[in-house]
Structure 1
Amino acid sequence: MRLRPGGRLLGVLLLLMAGSAVAQELPDDLTQLDLEQLLELELIPIDVLGSHIHLKGQWMVGYRFMHMAMEGGHAHEADYPVRPEHMRMAMHMVEVMYGLTDRLTLMAMLGYQQAAMESRTVQGTRFETSASGPNDLQLAVHYALHPGATHYLVGLLGMQVPLGRVDVRDDTPMGTGQPLPYPMRPGSGTWDLVLGLTSIHRLGNWNLGVHGDALWRTGTNRYGYRLGHRVHAGAWVTYRVRAWMAWTLHVDAHVLGDVQGHDARLNPAMTPTADPALQGERHLTVQPALNFYVPHGPLKGMRWSVYLDRPLLEAHEGAAMETGWQLTLAWQWTR
């Protein structure tokens, strides 16, 4: 496990959090607010899964673009004939939410992944492989367990439908149309369960929250393996600078388990990304963000966010490459 330079950034951002909260007189129940009042309270990081609800009849559509760059160079990779050196990944994600009741919200989310990996053989030959396609479709319900205006608790229950491709191929020095290793595949090939819980507390212009969600893999796919279970948890603080702007500091932890079983088409002795026992990883990241909201006019209800992810602590079973900055741009519109 390594301490990353982002720790210094966290200290600087915490010093910038000094300020006074402005008290707001709010009703006891979120369902007593109209749409404009509800949106003005919406200071939750966009990437927190299952973090908000919509009142009956409300729609929300959203789009996110994420770009991530990773570097290889682990010492153990000298034992493999093929060594991953660089990986770039771009993700486009669309989500739709609808308030079925004042406390129950339906959600559908689908991503499209583009990945490229540069590798090098022990003979010094460099080559690049790429793969793209939709990720698995996520369907979920959010339920307000406690819909208070100053504090509320939201539960999430959902599933992932195996829509994404598992069989992705590209040309390599080993031949044409070779199956690509686990990190390059946009789909899981299994039906998976999603559970989550988010607790949010508001103090005037401040918003404090903690969250946790888990993705539980079920069964095995047609190639005889399943991806590792995933746990995601974190905490954030948000401060409203203006009626239309707020900043957020989000600290996030991710734990991913190893692949269970194996794809018999892959040779785990060829490259670490093909070894199912080396796919687990753990990350602790800091995420500063700016959020912009349109309270009035023809664009009323729109929200834009830009944020960066920087690892503070990072540990791998062996195959995963170290992550640099991840940039995310997001847009949401609630009507």
Structure 2
Amino acid sequence: MRSAYFYVSTLSSLILFSTVTQANPNHGQDVNPASHAPAGVMAEHTHKAGEIMIGYRFMQQNYDQLYQGSEKITHQQLTQAGYSMAPTSMTMKMHMLDFMYALNDKVTLMLMPQYMSMDMDMTMLDSGSMQHDMGDMNHMDDMHDMHTSHQHGTSGWTDTQVSALVNLYQNQHHQVITNLGISLPTGSVDEKNSSGQFTHYGMQLGSGTYDFVPSVTYTGHLNALSWGAQLGANIKLEDENDSGFSFGDKYHVTGWLAYQVLQPLSISARLSYQTQEDIKGHYNGPHGHSAPSDIQANYGGQFSDLGLGFNYAQQTGPLKGVRLGLEWQTRVAQDYNGYQLGLDDGLNASLTYAF
């Protein structure tokens, strides 16, 4: 088991060191809309000493197509793989509160409680479908409406992130910051279905483990043009949670380019890549095995997404300091582990006020 004490000690030492270090007199948040990353990027900016930011973030992701690896598959193919239930669609919504306080010009503390809801549509597969013509795939997909279908979901508070964002370097046009964070296991991992069994692994509300969530972010700007990149991870610090398993480690890299089209408005384009390991361990109580989402090997993979969005920053009047960001995101390449319901598109939104 990885030691959480090492990461917590490192985080505490760096905060203490940075607090007593002389602040950077050139540090300060730009008031132009491109001074923040697109709405789908978090932990990418710091604040001036004593500044407070409160914010609300929203994320929605829509899943609606079955994949094996990088290829779309039909219900017939899933039946041949031995499954009797198939997910047909899923919607995940996340509501995040974002509180930031700058100890000084070098260190900004962040607290992010989160609330999640997930709804999944399932259909029972027809075992007799294996007798149909293998070439008649379109007909087989149409037949799923005749199968027994149902919807189920979970909702509640999920894990809470606490972080220190440290300003490593800054001049007039460039900034490098690091985020050292811990995700606290405040979300439930013992959600049950109507029969009293554990629900699908991916529909649990939290990870159930303490997680180390570091990142390094570079941003730059010149006149109306701004850009940035972030490298980050979510590393499990425990081998299993109270329900007997742990989600796989995640690693991501993303880069973006933004252009200020009006004084308060910028538009952006972003590419991201993520890799995630499958689930380790196994539920320590009764659970099903009829759907792909019941099997640990059907989690994780490698994914690439495209995001298009805008930032609006109010620069004058009583609403000065209010910033709104919206970003639409879609998956452009994927290689899923095993059989999975793939991401179609999603929405990221951010509304913040700094004072």
Q: TM-score of the superposition, structure 1-length normalised?
A: 0.85
Q: Please, which of 253, 257, 278 is the counterpart of residue 237 of structure 1?
A: 257
Structure 1 stretches lacking a partner, 5+ long: 1-28
2:102 matched residue in structure 1: 99
1:223 to 1:165, Cα distance in 2 relative to 1, 3 A = same
Give the SS at the match of 2:193: strand
Task: Give how far 1:41 is off.
Answer: 5.8
Task: Give how far 1:34 is off.
Answer: 5.7
1:136 matched residue in structure 2: 159
1:41 to 1:65, Cα distance in 2 relative to 1, 3 A = closer
Task: Give how far 1:265 is off.
Answer: 3.0
Structure 2 stretches lacking a partner, 5+ long: 1-22, 68-72, 127-146
Task: Give how far 1:82 is off.
Answer: 1.4
Give the SS at the match of 2:121: strand
Q: Distance in 2 between matches of 1:32 and 1:222?
A: 47
Contact 2:65 2:343 in 1 (8 A): no
Task: Give how far 1:121 is off.
Answer: 1.6
Alpha-carbon displacement from aligned partner over 1:39-78 (angstroms, at most 9, x marks no partner): 6661322332321100110011111122221014343522
Q: Which letter maps to 2:230?
A: H
Alpha-carbon displacement from aligned partner over 1:260-293 (angstroms, at most 9, x marks no partner): 1111335564211011111112211110101111
1:228 to 1:33, Cα distance in 2 relative to 1, 3 A = closer
Q: Which letter maps to 1:317?
A: N
Contact 1:192 1:217 in 2 (8 A): yes
2:275 matched residue in structure 1: 255
Task: Give how far 1:114 is off.
Answer: 0.7
Structure number with greater Rg is: 2
Q: Distance in 1 between matches of 2:189 and 2:263?
A: 45
Q: Distance in 1 between matches of 2:44 and 2:62?
A: 27
Contact 2:103 2:109 in 1 (8 A): yes
Task: Give how far 1:115 is off.
Answer: 0.5
Q: Number of residue pairs matched?
A: 302
Q: Please, which of 54, 61, 65 is the counterpart of residue 47 of structure 2?
A: 54
Equivalent residues in 2 for 1:91-240, closer than 5 Å: 91-123=94-126, 124-171=147-194, 176-219=195-238, 220-240=240-260
Contact 2:267 2:311 in 1 (8 A): yes
Alpha-carbon displacement from aligned partner over 1:122-177 (angstroms, at most 9, x marks no partner): 25211111100111000000001102230110011110100001111232xxxx33
Q: Distance in 2 between matches of 1:208 and 1:187?
A: 33
**Which deviates more from structure 2 when the two are superposed, residues 39-48 or residues 102-111?**
39-48
1:10 matched residue in structure 2: none
1:116 to 1:41, Cα distance in 2 relative to 1, 3 A = closer
Give the SS at the match of 2:315: coil
Contact 2:24 2:106 in 1 (8 A): no
2:7 matched residue in structure 1: none
Q: Distance in 1 between matches of 2:223 and 2:348?
A: 27
2:36 matched residue in structure 1: 43
Q: Which letter maps to 2:241?
A: N
1:288 matched residue in structure 2: 308
Contact 1:112 1:132 in 2 (8 A): yes
Contact 2:33 2:265 in 1 (8 A): no
Q: Distance in 2 between matches of 1:94 and 1:222?
A: 26
Task: Give how far 1:38 is off.
Answer: 5.1
Contact 1:170 1:177 in 2 (8 A): yes
Q: Distance in 2 between matches of 1:104 and 1:56?
A: 8
Contact 1:145 1:154 in 2 (8 A): yes
Give the SS at the match of 2:285: coil
Task: Give how far 1:30 is off.
Answer: 6.8
Q: Percent identity?
A: 25
Q: Which letter maps to 1:203?
A: L
Give the SS at the match of 1:156: strand
Q: Distance in 2 between matches of 1:54 and 1:150?
A: 16
Q: Which letter maps to 2:268?
A: T
What is the CA RMSD across the aligned residues, in angstroms?
1.8
**Which deviates more from structure 2 when the two are superposed, residues 300-309 or residues 37-46?**
37-46
Give the SS at the match of 2:197: strand
